[in-house]
């Protein structure tokens, strides 16, 4: 291993990430290379008693660790900012953990925007509760009908009926209809996750079988946490 060449590669990647707004490419394979490189350098024992060489090597160890950790932190901030504004990111630029971060934030933001409509209706008195869909007279301010029968009749037509008000179940069904699901078997224990359909899954034990949104399943399979189950 040529430590100077490896340092130059990592430094070049870090420098490019710092100095451009868009994400650089960091695939899972490249992430593994960097990660293994850091582990090797940290665990490496320098076979010399020369104090100067030892000091130089310690500085390389610190520099490698800083560059890698800072590279990941910069990328995380870029991904979070892009996700919150619903900007599209090419998944080929991300390693698996970043894909999961991006997809979960996107799903949460989209779900929030849809559910926010229910809260808005509730705050205006059209719904008594953002999770309820029944529209009744007590939800409608009486002063709106104090302008005369004709005006009141006109206003009553503008009030959403029960069928016109978005329901929570309908919103979730709309999200779920756009998602495909895959059957997987877990190869190891895994913590709970938020699916692309905004539902909570898990936690899971090794050998558990679950029916998950395809994007979540793909990430778990790529990370070798689970494997697909084919149904013949």
**Percent of the chain having pLDDT more than 70?**
72
Residues forming a β-bridge with 210: 184
- Euclidean distance between CA atoms 112 and 162, whole angstroms: 22
Q: Rounded to 5 degrees, what are φ and ψ at 181? A: -120, 150
The mean pLDDT value for 68-80 works out to: 94
Q: Is the pLDDT of residue 139 over 70?
A: no
Above 90 in pLDDT, residue 32? yes
Fold of 3-94: Methane Monooxygenase Hydroxylase; Chain G, domain 1 (1.20.58)
Q: Which of 135, 131, 149, 79 is nearest to 109 (CA)?
A: 79
CATH topology of domain 179-228: Ribosomal Protein L9; domain 1 (3.40.5)
147 against 105, higher pLDDT: 105
What whole-number distance in Å separates Cα of residue 102 and Cα of residue 94?
9
Mean confidence (pLDDT) of the chain: 77
* DSSP-derived secondary structure letter, 128: S
Our separate counts of H helices and E strands in the chain read 7, 5
* Residue from 89, 116, 115 nearest 100 by CA: 89
Give me the percent of the chain exceeding a pLDDT of 90: 32
Query: What is the SS3 assignment for 2?
Result: coil
What would the mean pLDDT of 64-80 be, rounded to a whole number? 93
The secondary structure of 186-207 as a DSSP string is: ESS-B--EE-TTS-EE--B-TT
**At 54, is the pLDDT very low, low, confident or very high (cuts 50, 70, 90)?**
confident
CA dist., res. 70 & res. 219, Å (int):
24
Q: Binning pLDDT at 50, 70 and 90, where does residue 14 land?
A: very high
pLDDT digits (tens, 9 = 90+) for 82-120: 888 888 899 999 999 999 999 888 888 877 777 776 666
pTM value > 0.75: no
Answer for the pair 213, 180: CB distance below 8 angstroms, yes or no.
Answer: yes
Per-domain residue ranges of the chain: 3-94, 114-169, 179-228
- Residues 219, 100 contacting (CB under 8 angstroms): yes
The answer on pLDDT for 128 being more than 80 is no
The pLDDT, as a whole number, for residue 156 is: 43
């Amino acid at each position: 291993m040529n430590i100077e060449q490896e340092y130059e590669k990592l430094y070049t990647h870090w420098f490019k990430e710092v100095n451009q707004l868009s994400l650089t490419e960091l695939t899972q394979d490249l992430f593994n290379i960097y990660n293994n490189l850091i582990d090797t350098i940290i665990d490496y024992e320098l076979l010399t008693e020369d104090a100067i060489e030892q000091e130089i090597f310690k500085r390389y160890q610190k520099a490698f660790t800083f560059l890698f950790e800072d590279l990941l932190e910069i990328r995380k901030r870029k991904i979070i900012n892009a996700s919150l504004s619903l900007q599209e990111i090419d998944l080929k630029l991300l390693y698996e953990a970043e894909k999961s971060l991006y997809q979960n934030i996107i799903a949460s933001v989209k779900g929030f925007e849809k559910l926010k409509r229910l809260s808005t209706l509730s705050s205006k008195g059209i719904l008594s509760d953002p999770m309820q869909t029944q529209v009744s007279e007590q939800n409608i301010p009486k002063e709106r009908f104090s302008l005369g029968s004709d005006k009141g009749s006109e206003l009553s037509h503008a009030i959403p009926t029960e069928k016109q008000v978005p329901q929570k179940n309908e919103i979730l069904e709309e999200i779920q209809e756009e998602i495909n699901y895959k059957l997987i078997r877990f190869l190891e224990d895994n913590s709970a996750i938020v699916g692309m359909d905004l539902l909570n899954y898990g936690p899971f034990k090794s050998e558990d079988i679950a029916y998950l949104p395809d994007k979540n399943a793909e990430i778990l399979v790529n990370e070798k946490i689970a494997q697909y189950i084919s149904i013949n």
